[in-house]
């Protein structure tokens, strides 16, 4: 993409990429809200993992943050979007039975960047699917998307959430937090009920009290390789590292259940991802 193309104002981009703002023939999407005032507004998530070569990043990120994402948010039903860069050398809870997650045949292992888009529910992303939306962009924008490598997409529906101690500062629930940890995985069918119980009875209640935690969401997939995901949201990377790493200290029963359950999860390549937000900028 040339400099003139990059300099197009958002209004011009929306006119030439009308598929993002209102695709012809697509049924209108209502931003449904639950009758219950406390019900989450964003129960659907479109998640993309991918890599971009170092040399191509400046131009790609400039386009991503000034053209693609602002236009994406004009789509009916899209509530928020956030772009994250993975933290290298992720610190995590040490386990005696730590599981290695080698490449899974046919599953792209992109991990450098994560793009998250929130919507009222997962059906919003069925009005025009992520792949169809991107394929319908003008050629210049498709060239920019082609800079992505090892891309993997999931559309997820929220199974349940808890609010952490820092949720008050994010009461609207419709913006990406400064730091996230996102695990995406599969699990043998015979172990799924125990996994459900573990998250509901142990891990998520513990996160509810964890300093620095804004929210924790358990997700289930409606499209994509990973059937399950766990989505932790934090006020900062520093807050996450200070509190999460000691989550199970002095709690042998919690640790034993976690050790047993974590060993049964088959993570996507590169999962879990610890990442910090690069758009919108953290101020």
pLDDT of residue 35: 37
Quick one: how far is CA 74 from the chain centroid?
Answer: 19
DSSP secondary structure of 104-138: PTT-----SEEEEEEESSTTHHHHS-HHHHHHTS-
Quick one: how far is CA 218 from the chain centroid?
Answer: 12
Q: Is 5 exposed, middle or buried (0-12, 13-18, 19+ CB in 10 A)?
A: middle
CATH of domain 41-89+97-279: 3.30.70.100
How many other C-beta atoms lie within 10 A of the C-beta of residue 202?
A: 18
Distance in angstroms (rounded) separating the CA atoms of residues 46 and 32: 17
CB 258 within 8 A of CB 230: no
How many other C-beta atoms lie within 10 A of the C-beta of residue 199?
A: 20
* Least confident segment among 50-59, 81-90, 128-137: 81-90
pLDDT of residue 90: 73
CB 161 within 8 A of CB 45: no
Chain segment 249-259, per-residue pLDDT in tens: 999 999 999 99
Residues across the chain: 283
Model confidence at 96, in pLDDT bands (50, 70, 90)? low
Cα–Cα nearest to 71, from 120, 140, 123, 126: 140
Chain segment 17-26, per-residue pLDDT in tens: 444 444 434 4
Q: Cα-Cα-Cα-Cα dihedral of 264, 161, 277, 93, to 10°?
A: -40
Domain ranges of the chain: 41-89+97-279
CB 124 within 8 A of CB 78: yes
CB 198 within 8 A of CB 259: no
């Amino acid at each position: 993409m040339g400099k003139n193309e990059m300099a197009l104002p958002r209004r011009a981009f929306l006119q030439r990429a009308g598929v993002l703002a209102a695709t012809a023939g697509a049924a209108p999407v209502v931003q449904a809200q639950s009758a219950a005032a406390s019900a989450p507004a964003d129960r659907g998530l479109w998640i993309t993992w991918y890599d971009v070569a170092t040399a191509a990043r400046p131009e790609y990120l400039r386009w991503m943050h000034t053209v693609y994402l602002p236009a994406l948010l004009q789509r009916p039903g899209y509530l928020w979007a956030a772009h994250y860069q993975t933290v290298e050398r992720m610190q995590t809870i040490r386990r005696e039975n730590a599981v290695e997650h080698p490449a899974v045949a046919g599953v792209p292992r992109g991990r450098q960047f994560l793009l998250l888009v929130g919507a009222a529910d997962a059906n919003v992303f069925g009005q025009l699917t992520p792949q169809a939306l991107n394929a319908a962009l003008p050629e210049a924008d498709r060239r920019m998307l082609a800079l992505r490598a090892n891309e993997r997409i999931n559309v997820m529906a929220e199974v349940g959430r808890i609010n952490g101690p820092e949720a008050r500062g994010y009461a609207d629930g419709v913006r990406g937090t400064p730091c996230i940890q996102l695990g995406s995985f599969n699990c043998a069918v015979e172990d799924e009920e125990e996994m459900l119980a573990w998250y509901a009875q142990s891990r998520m209640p513990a996160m509810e009290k964890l300093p620095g935690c804004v929210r924790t969401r358990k997700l289930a997939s409606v499209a994509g390789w990973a059937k399950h995901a766990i989505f932790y949201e934090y006020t900062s990377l520093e807050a996450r590292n200070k509190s999460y790493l000691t989550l199970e200290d002095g709690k042998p029963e919690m640790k034993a259940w976690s050790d047993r359950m974590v060993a049964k999860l088959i993570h996507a390549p590169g999962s879990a991802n610890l990442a910090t937000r690069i758009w919108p900028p953290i101020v």
